[in-house]
Structures are given as C-alpha cells and as structure tokens.
C-alpha cells in the first residue's frame, strides 16, 4: 500500500471538500470484468460544502436523501445514524457525460463526511467511495472513484507503476497503480446525449457472456495493457493506434452511437486517435490531438455538434478545501 498520498485529516463541521472528474483512456466496460483500464483525473471538479442542519438536504432539497441514489448511498455508508446535514454541491463536470460527475460527488462528499468522523486514509476512502457508487449504481468498477480519490493518471489492473491500493467487491479485486503523466493535452467532446451507465454496463456484460465474448474481453485486455505501457513510455503513435482499436471493440460490444461516430469522423484530420470515453451509448469522446492542431480539433468537434473542451490531467485527488 502507498504511503505517497496523504490521508484526509479529521476536522469539525463545517467542512468543504472537492474531487476531480475523470477521463478514461483505455479499458472502460472491460474493467468491470477484471481487465485493465487507464484513467486520468481532469481539471473539472465537484466541490461540496457540508454543515450541520435542521434536516438533511442537498442544495436545499429535503427530498434528495430519498430521490438522489448517490447522495443516499453516501449518507448510508459514511454518515449512518449521525445528525442532519446541510450539503451544497457545485460541479463543473457535465452530468451523465462519461466524465465522472457521480464519482467526483461521491469521493468529495465521502472525504468531507469521513473528515468529520475522525479522518480516513486514502486506500480506505477509495474502497468506501467505490462501495458508495456501487450501492447507488448496482454495477461497476472502482476506476472512476479511485481516480477521483488519487488524482493524476491511474491504472487499474495493469502497469508497472507503484501500487496505490486495491479495491474489493464480493467477486473481484482490482489493483490500483500510479502511471506517470506523459504531459500531453487531450480533448474531450460531449455529444449532449446523456445515458445510464448501469444500463450500458449490463448490456455489455450480456454481450461478453455470449458466444465470442471471452475472446472480445481478451482483446480488450490486450489493448488496455499495451495502452498503459505505451502511455507510460510516452509513445504517442502506439497510443493513437490503440485508441482506434479500443473504439472498434467498444463498437463491437454495442456502446457506440451515431453521434459518437460523427465526432470521431470529424476529429480524424486533427486527431491522432479518438474513441468514446466512459460508458458510451451517448456521453463523450476523448481525442489525442495532432501536435499543433489542438485548436483545429476543438473547432472541428464543435462544428460537428459536440461540446468540446481541452482537458488537462490534474495531479490532485479528493481533498479538503481549507476555508
């Protein structure tokens, strides 16, 4: 286990915390079935402000503990039996876009509540955030929540990097490792089509369990493993080729979408490689721009109807905001 990343210290309420969204470079979906994944934390965050309240509310909504599964699951796992809370959340991460808005909310709020309960080390916060997200979603891997907790580039089940922690579910165990940021600029573009992660995960699970599924999973595994190694040594052309191959696999398991394909096509003259990122079936694409063509790429994606933005990996994961 890592002693590299400091834990979340104990504080008294009111507490403010924040956590970053994420962008998956390789391995989404297959990671749910134990294959490797590469993810980085992005410079869009969710910030939460938590204070004692008369009744538990989220952004002044007292129905939220009943209606918002992520809020309810966080309260159940990190604040059970404790006094009411007034929570405000402000997010710059588009929702249901494949950019980790739910993981950032869960990791930020879990960090704040764990701080108010005596503090927590980072491996335990990663495990807790995963259990909370899984409690709300019913399915999934710890890739998003561990990245929101760790910051930077993170490999799940792969890579030669330093082990940060492992995360367990009743039927899987995922190893989380640090990958060195190659220092590249990435461009993400949102299709504007929200979708359900849980539905997409279940559909891909069914496809991978059908004839030919194990062979597909093996190919997902190879692409993500080689992709993690290529990012680690800063090999752009191999990364680009593997982005394209990963997209073919995602298309084959049924989570691409005509709007995603239109963005991938529009990006081609200015991107070395482009694929969907996150659960797919809508959501976003991630592209590795050709050096010097970042602005052209953004323009092309916008003209094709996407909402593009340049994303910079950020090294910092969930943390308290000192007020």
**143 scored as a contact of ligand PMV (CB under 6 A):** yes
How many residues of this chain interact with ligand PMV, rule: CB under 6 A?
Answer: 15
Nearer to ligand PMV, 29 or 225 (CB): 29
Q: How many residues does the chain have?
A: 323
The answer to the question of residue 283 lying near ligand PMV (CB under 6 A) is yes
**How far is it, in rounded angstroms, from Cα 297 to Cα 140?**
31
246 is a site residue for ligand PMV (CB under 6 A): no
Least distance from ligand PMV to the Cβ atom of residue 139, Å: 7
Any contact of residue 281 with ligand PMV (CB under 6 A)?
no
What three-state secondary structure class fits 287? strand
Q: How many CB atoms lie within 10 A of CB 206?
A: 12
Cis link prior to 14 (omega < 30° from 0)? yes
**140 belongs to the binding site for ligand PMV (CB under 6 A):** yes
Should residue 136 be labelled a site residue for ligand PMV when binding is judged by CB under 6 A?
A: no
List 270, 279, 285, 301, residue binding ligand PMV (CB under 6 A): 279
Q: Which residue has the tokens 């927590």?
A: 120
Is residue 127 a contact point for ligand PMV (CB under 6 A)? no
Nearer Cβ to ligand PMV (176/201): 201
Q: Given the complex with ligand PMV, which of 98 and 317 has the nearer CB atom?
A: 98
141 binds ligand PMV (CB under 6 A): yes
- DSSP per-residue letters across 204-248: HHHHHHSTTHHHHHHHHHHHHHHHHHHHHTT-HHHHHHHHHHHHH
| Nearest distance from C-beta of residue 32 to ligand PMV, angstroms | 5
How would you class 158 by CB atoms within 10 Å of its CB: exposed for 0-12, middle for 13-18, buried for 19 or more?
buried
Q: Under the criterion CB under 6 A, does residue 201 sit at the interface with ligand PMV? A: yes
Q: Which phi and psi (to 5°) does residue 178 adopt? A: -80, 135
Q: Binder to ligand PMV among 20, 28, 157, 224 (CB under 6 A)?
A: 28
Site string (77-106) toward ligand PMV, x via CB under 6 A: ---------------------x-x------
> What's the DSSP call for residue 83?
P
The percent helix, strand, coil of the chain (3-state, each to 5) is 40, 25, 35
Alpha-carbon distance of 125 to 78, in angstroms, equals 10
Looking at beta carbons only, is 98 or 232 nearer to ligand PMV?
98
- 230 touching ligand PMV, by CB under 6 A: no
**Contact residues for ligand PMV, defined by CB under 6 A:** 28-29, 31-32, 98, 100, 140-141, 143-144, 197, 201, 278-279, 283
């Amino acid at each position: 286990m890592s002693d590299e990343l400091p834990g979340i210290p104990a504080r008294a309420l009111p507490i403010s915390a924040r956590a970053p969204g994420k962008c998956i470079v390789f391995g989404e979906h297959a990671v749910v079935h134990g294959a490797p994944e590469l993810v980085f934390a992005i410079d869009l965050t969710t910030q939460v402000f938590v204070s004692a309240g008369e009744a538990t509310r989220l952004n002044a909504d007292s129905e939220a503990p009943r209606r918002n599964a992520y809020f309810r699951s966080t309260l159940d796992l990190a604040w059970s039996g404790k006094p009411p809370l007034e929570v405000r959340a402000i997010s710059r991460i588009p929702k249901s876009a494949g950019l980790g808005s739910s993981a950032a909310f869960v990791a930020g709020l879990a960090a704040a509540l764990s701080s108010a309960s005596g503090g927590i080390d980072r491996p335990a916060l990663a495990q807790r955030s995963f259990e909370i997200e899984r409690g709300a979603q019913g399915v999934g891997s710890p890739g998003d929540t561990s990245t929101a907790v760790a910051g930077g580039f993170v490999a799940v089940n792969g890579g030669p990097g330093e082990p940060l922690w492992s995360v367990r579910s009743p039927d899987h165990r995922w190893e989380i490792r640090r990958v060195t940021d190659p220092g590249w600029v990435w461009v993400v573009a949102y299709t504007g089509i929200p979708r359900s992660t849980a539905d997409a995960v279940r559909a891909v699970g069914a496809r991978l369990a059908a004839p030919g599924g194990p062979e597909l999973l093996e190919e997902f595994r190879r692409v993500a493993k080689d992709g993690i190694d290529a990012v680690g040594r800063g090999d752009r052309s191999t990364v680009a080729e593997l982005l394209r191959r990963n997209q073919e696999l995602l298309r084959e398991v049924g989570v691409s979408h005509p709007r995603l394909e239109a963005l991938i096509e529009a990006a081609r003259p200015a991107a070395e490689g482009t694929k969907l990122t996150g659960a797919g079936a809508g959501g976003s694409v991630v592209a590795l721009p050709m050096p010097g063509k970042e602005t052209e790429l953004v323009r092309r994606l916008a003209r094709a109807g996407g909402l593009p933005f340049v994303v910079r990996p950020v090294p910092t994961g969930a943390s308290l905001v000192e007020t």
